Structure 1
Amino acid sequence: MNIIQSCSSPSWGGLEMTALNTSVILAEKGHNVSIFCRKNSRLEDEANKCGLTTYPVFSSKSNIFYSILEISKYLNSSHVDVIHSHISHDLWSISPALYLSGKKPKFYLTKHLASGVGKKDIPHRLLYKKLTGIFAISNFIKDNVISTCPVNPANVHILHNSLSVDKYNIADYNTNSVKTKYNIPKENLVAGMIGRFTPGKGIEDFLHSIKLLEGKLNFPVTFIIAGEASYGEQEYAEGIFNLCEKLGLKDKVIFPGFIKNVPELLSIFDILVFPSHDESFGITLIEAMAMEVPVIASNNSGIPDIVKDGVTGILIPPKQPDKIADSLFYLLNNWEKRVYLGQNGRRCIEDKFNAETNIKILEKYYNGK
């Protein structure tokens, strides 16, 4: 099939990575896949590195007519079977282009984020009318789509984000060598976060929980906060570094920046902390669980779709550093529980969040089955 994956976001996080990974896997399965993206975006750069064809049809919000015309021209000059957008803002360009070109490829939208406003007015009805269906990455998102968007509930389908499980194996890494790479003593336990530096991820809460643990642990622990600032949020990242120093944690917390090889870093994690205030899903969570790393995560939004409290991880209320600290203290002192949660987490990913299975489901929808 000739497939277009679309994502106009200038940022680089789980949403954008999902758009890229979906494209890569579909291409590996023999489909002709191209990406509609924003000019000079991280997605454009990463997709080109993967050998995918990109079309930077999105520019600024003020130039939406440019995007409509570019997409319309592409549709008139190329045969497209499926367009699959990963961000609802793209509908403002793609739907008008479909009206303008008269072309009728299957058109899907994956909703990664919840909407805080209703979209059942006439303009949105016209935009959503062009959709063949909507994929929601969690039950939380599905409920939000049905309540806010002008759609038939029968056309809203759960399709969790997923990963290629075979790329996540603890046995593939020498943990002592990885610790040496990050200047971590071999005897130290490791707990940390991985993700974008953006408000609402709970990074401040994690730092405060580390402070609360001071003097309570009788063994060495290294804390890691991996990731980089999201688009336009470098000032926020600087605030995180300043808070770390203000709390006197500079010698206890490592900031390694953006991590290309996430499984490698996770191979030395004893615990992953995911204290997001409002998360539709959580790619880092399923990556950690695939690597048999026990997780501590906020009990909100889409997270309960992934983590079963006490079985595949520990769920805590968001915005409560003391609860993070208590859970860290418990797991850091309980090796058997860490192993139990880690093994269960791996089995959960193999059963529910395996990319091979999800891509087959996606292909069935693309084929109209």
Structure 2
Amino acid sequence: MNDHASLLCHVNLANGFRGGERQTLLLVEALSEKGFKQKVIARKDSELVKRLQTISGIDVIEKNMFGFDAFSETSEKTLLHFHDSRSFPIFYLNGLLKSMKYIYTRRVQRSPKVNFMSKKIYKDSMKIVCLSSSIEDTVKESFGKSIDSLIIPSASAGFDHDPEKSLEIRQEIKHDFLVGHIGSLDDSHKGQLDIIKLARQAKSKALDIGFVMVGSGRDELLLKKESKDLENVYFTGQVENIGDYLSVFDVFIFPSRHEGLGSSLLDAIHFGLPVIARNVGGISDIIEHGINGFMVSESGPDFFTPLVELYENEAKRQMISKANREKSKEFSIERMTQSYISLYNQCL
């Protein structure tokens, strides 16, 4: 494969840095460590570009969102790996479908837009990689069962933690039992208003539980307003030391209203955290109800009952923690990387 490695070009034109961008970075970095030479087309001045520049052996090509020369530094021998769909219009309008080899990793659960362009792009792809069985189902429902797809889950980021920093976090939060959440503060996607509701229920029952939301986003002010009378809700803002927070949580809550897989969920099980999640999208590929977490119904979810069980039953928490540390081995960076290497070899 190394003979062909320089023919591999990743494409991710996202401006922010969320789960998809972190997964792109993890894969590029892991391939680089194995001696692969790669190109990456990324949004000019984006956070992804900044982080890619710390990796050796790659050629970062910075482009504007609508730069029609985005693919000028590739050839017909290049295998393009699209990590998002933002560049599809440019790709299509340049007529590159006729000459380029490409694969696409589909990361979101919602049904893709179906039009002439998308039908052509999905049909001509050498492989549509889906993070979960749920995503694969929506792709085939949208474009037909003949679409050549493959499931390769995301990987845990393998965050480390600093025991001293973790202790400081514990001391700052005035509750003995911590329920954590990590994600963009966007209730329409991540469902954080249900965390506020849960915190209110815990307060009404005088449970010594603190709820910690790590992240930032468009609904931050809304969530703070809804919880202004709750002393058991904490907002950290955007942080880099995610592992320090994961190490102090007792339970991880994941109330997403739709989710392809959920990379922060993989980080939580890597730390052995019991999970309470809404049963949507690809989450059931990770969580088995009662074994390594609890799944609640999509409509009218009851997060409170499983939370109380975990709060009161340390033996249950320990059992689930052990199961999750074992489960997390299925979502290692090495396992994801080897799956992609196998795919690249087939395509090149």
The unaligned stretches of length 5 or more in structure 2 are none
Identify the residue that residue 85 of structure 1 maps to in structure 2: 82
Could you tell me which of 102, 108, 132 is aligned with 1:107?
A: 102
Deviation at 1:27, TM superposition (A): 1.1
Deviation at 1:262, TM superposition (A): 1.9
Question: 1:1-369 residue pairs with structure 2 within 5 A?
Answer: 1-2=5-6, 3-50=8-55, 53-59=59-65, 63=66, 66-67=67-68, 69-71=69-71, 73-76=72-75, 81-97=78-94, 99=96, 103-104=99-100, 106-116=101-111, 119=114, 121-149=115-143, 152-153=146-147, 155-163=148-156, 167=158, 173-174=162-163, 177-181=165-169, 183-184=171-172, 188-198=176-186, 199-217=188-206, 220-229=208-217, 233=218, 236-245=219-228, 248-249=229-230, 251-318=231-298, 320=300, 323-350=302-329, 352-368=330-346
Q: Return the alpha-carbon distance in structure 2 between the equivalents of residues 344 and 328 of structure 1.
A: 18
Deviation at 1:177, TM superposition (A): 4.8
Deviation at 1:88, TM superposition (A): 2.5
Deviation by residue 1:313-337 (Cα, 9 ceiling, x = unmatched): 100123646x112221111111111
Deviation at 1:50, TM superposition (A): 4.2
User: In 2 relative to 1, CA 362–21 (structure 1 residues): closer, same or farther, beyond 3 Å?
Assistant: same
Scaled by the length of structure 2, the TM-score of the pair is: 0.89
Deviation at 1:237, TM superposition (A): 1.6
Pairwise CA RMSD: 2.5
Deviation at 1:252, TM superposition (A): 1.7
Q: Secondary structure at the match of 2:89?
A: helix
Q: Return the alpha-carbon distance in structure 2 between the equivalents of residues 15 and 85 of structure 1.
A: 11
Deviation at 1:356, TM superposition (A): 0.7
Out of 8-17 and 333-342, give the one that drifted further.
8-17
The amino acid of 1:281's aligned partner reads: L
Would you say the 8 A contact 1:91–1:128 is kept in 2?
Answer: no
Would you say the 8 A contact 2:109–2:258 is kept in 1?
Answer: no
Would you say the 8 A contact 2:159–2:242 is kept in 1?
Answer: no
Q: Secondary structure at the match of 1:145?
A: helix
Would you say the 8 A contact 1:95–1:130 is kept in 2?
Answer: no
User: In 2 relative to 1, CA 255–36 (structure 1 residues): closer, same or farther, beyond 3 Å?
Assistant: same
The amino acid of 1:113's aligned partner reads: V
Deviation at 1:40, TM superposition (A): 2.5
Deviation by residue 1:227-274 (Cα, 9 ceiling, x = unmatched): 011xxx3xx2211111111xx11x322211122122221111100000
Q: Return the alpha-carbon distance in structure 1 between the equivalents of residues 263 and 173 of structure 2.
A: 28
The amino acid of 2:234's aligned partner reads: I
Q: Return the alpha-carbon distance in structure 2 between the equivalents of residues 40 and 274 of structure 1.
A: 31
Would you say the 8 A contact 2:103–2:128 is kept in 1?
Answer: yes
Q: Return the alpha-carbon distance in structure 1 between the equivalents of residues 226 and 54 of structure 2.
A: 36
Q: Return the alpha-carbon distance in structure 1 between the equivalents of residues 195 and 174 of structure 2.
A: 23
Would you say the 8 A contact 1:205–1:275 is kept in 2?
Answer: yes
Q: Secondary structure at the match of 1:75?
A: coil
Would you say the 8 A contact 1:296–1:313 is kept in 2?
Answer: yes
The amino acid of 1:74's aligned partner reads: E
User: In 2 relative to 1, CA 131–333 (structure 1 residues): closer, same or farther, beyond 3 Å?
Assistant: same
Deviation at 1:286, TM superposition (A): 1.0
Aligned length: 340
Deviation at 1:126, TM superposition (A): 3.2
User: In 2 relative to 1, CA 84–54 (structure 1 residues): closer, same or farther, beyond 3 Å?
Assistant: same
Would you say the 8 A contact 2:107–2:260 is kept in 1?
Answer: yes
Scaled by the length of structure 1, the TM-score of the pair is: 0.84
User: In 2 relative to 1, CA 28–318 (structure 1 residues): closer, same or farther, beyond 3 Å?
Assistant: same
Q: Return the alpha-carbon distance in structure 2 between the equivalents of residues 30 and 364 of structure 1.
A: 15
User: In 2 relative to 1, CA 152–57 (structure 1 residues): closer, same or farther, beyond 3 Å?
Assistant: farther
Q: Return the alpha-carbon distance in structure 1 between the equivalents of residues 92 and 55 of structure 2.
A: 28
Q: Return the alpha-carbon distance in structure 2 between the equivalents of residues 279 and 49 of structure 1.
A: 30
Q: Secondary structure at the match of 1:88?
A: coil
Q: Secondary structure at the match of 1:200?
A: helix
